[in-house]
A and B are shown apart, each in its own frame.
Chain A
Amino acid sequence: KNQVEQSPQSLIILEGKNCTLQCNYTVSPFSNLRWYKQDTGRGPVSLTIMTFSENTKSNGRYTATLDADTKQSSLHITASQLSDSASYICVVSALLLFSGGYNKLIFGAGTRLAVHP
């Protein structure tokens, strides 16, 4: 069964500190993995997207890693800011061969990050 699991469910850190969010998946066949940031009451915004051959990708203070062998990904946030407080969602794209090569996104439950001053 295609699943995406994220940990921790929630996290509180102090402003300026670093943190790492985890994502494990059992999606096959794998197409790509994305990290989204979702502010409360808003739609998700894409942070990074990585294909099978990419190990790491950065977007400002956000750095995502991917280990396709162990099916694990992480999102590292450096020098956190109050505006980083949000839910971070790991999404894995599965290539649905039987549907003509279309992709389907499998969403994780997200990690709720709170950055306190």
Chain B
Amino acid sequence: GAVVSQHPSWVICKSGTSVKIECRSLDFQATTMFWYRQFPKQSLMLMATSNEGSKATYEQGVEKDKFLINHASLTLSTLTVTSAHPEDSSFYICSASETRDQETQYFGPGTRLLVL
């Protein structure tokens, strides 16, 4: 149980385009979903926390207009990187929790984004 999937697993796009990444909880209802970014050889950095049906809470330094998060249902959250630039190239990982905090969260497999 407690499986979280992400789609796509990797994406290459041109600079200036927008990219959408989906995060799904397959066998449980995710009250909260978290989005992380991980640069090479660095640890996960929390970008934002989203609760179903409400606006996402962004961490300090994360541009909410650039990283649009939608949590439309209890099993799906999406992260859209708008007007992507090469510096946005990173590994994006989502996690899902049945509760409102990070205590019990299950990580997705991640999405590798490369912006040319």
Contact = CB atoms under 8 A, between A and B. Distances in A.
A110 B91 CA distance: 15
Contacts of B42: 109
A45 B110 CA distance: 12
Interface string B40-62: 01111110000000000000000
Interface string A77-117: 00000000000010001001001001111011110100000
B65 interface: no
Contacts of B110: 41-43
Interface residues of A, number: 19
Contact of A43 (B46, B101, B108): B108
Nearest to B41: A112
Nearest to B2: A46
Which of the listed residues B4, B6, B100, B103 has the most CB atoms from chain A within 10 Å of its own CB? B103
Contacts of B108: 43
A31 interface: yes
Nearest to A31: B103
A64 B83 CA distance: 43
Nearest to A104: B102
Contacts of A44: 44, 93, 107
Nearest to A109: B43
Interface in A19-43: 31, 41-43
Contacts of A96: 101
Nearest to A10: B41
Interface in B2-46: 4, 6, 41-46
B102 A43 contact: no
B112 interface: yes
A43 B112 contact: no
A46 to B, nearest CB: 8
Given A42-B110, A44-B44, 5 more contacts: A43-B110, A99-B101, A105-B102, A109-B43, A112-B41
10 contacts: A31-B103, A43-B6, A43-B95, A44-B93, A93-B103, A99-B101, A102-B103, A103-B101, A104-B101, A105-B102
Interface of B: 4, 6, 41-46, 91, 93, 95, 100-103, 105, 107-110, 112
